[in-house]
Amino acid sequence: MVCGPVNSAKTFLLNPLTSVYNTFCNPVCTTFALVGAEEAECSFLNDFRWLQHIIPWHDFLLMLEGQLVHLPAPKTHYAKDIVYDKDTPIFSTSKQPIIFIKNGVIDQRETVMMSVRWKIFHLNVRIPEEKQKEIALCPKCCAPLFYTERTVAKTGFKRTE
């Protein structure tokens, strides 16, 4: 998760995921918000805010750990709910880490349970509009940013220096 103020390059850093991998991007705000996530190689939740009707808190915690979660699916297209049981990487950008509020008060226990499931990177400098540059996306150049040992195991491709 990359957190920081507006115009701090959060999206810029993670947007190449969509060119390198089959990426599930931002869920819609409906009951069937996560349909398609089960088929993706990774998920990119850009400018994400947790909402109960997208995914219940407990299920989101389990999903972040790669545990089995049942996701609602429209019965007009699916015979049953989607069983999501992968450890698919999930990336996110946000202004701040996700917190759980119960009865108008931050629930510290639940908030800690969420925060330990993320590697959180904080960007603290806002880039002034006059200093922002438009840079073309190059999947080949960006691919090494997201290279992991898991990628080698899954694809068989090895990174060369």
Which tokens in the block code for residue 128? 């002034």
Phi and psi torsions of 92, nearest 5°: -150, 150
**How high is the pLDDT of residue 31?**
73
Angle made by CA atoms 89, 91, 97, in degrees to the nearest 5: 125
Other C-beta atoms closer than 10 Å to the C-beta of 34 total 23
Residues of the chain whose pLDDT is less than 50? 159-161
**How high is the pLDDT of residue 161?**
43
The percent of the chain in helix, strand and coil, each rounded to the nearest 5, is: 30, 15, 55
**How high is the pLDDT of residue 152?**
53
> What class is the 2-155 domain?
alpha beta
Question: Domains of the chain: which residue ranges?
Answer: 2-155
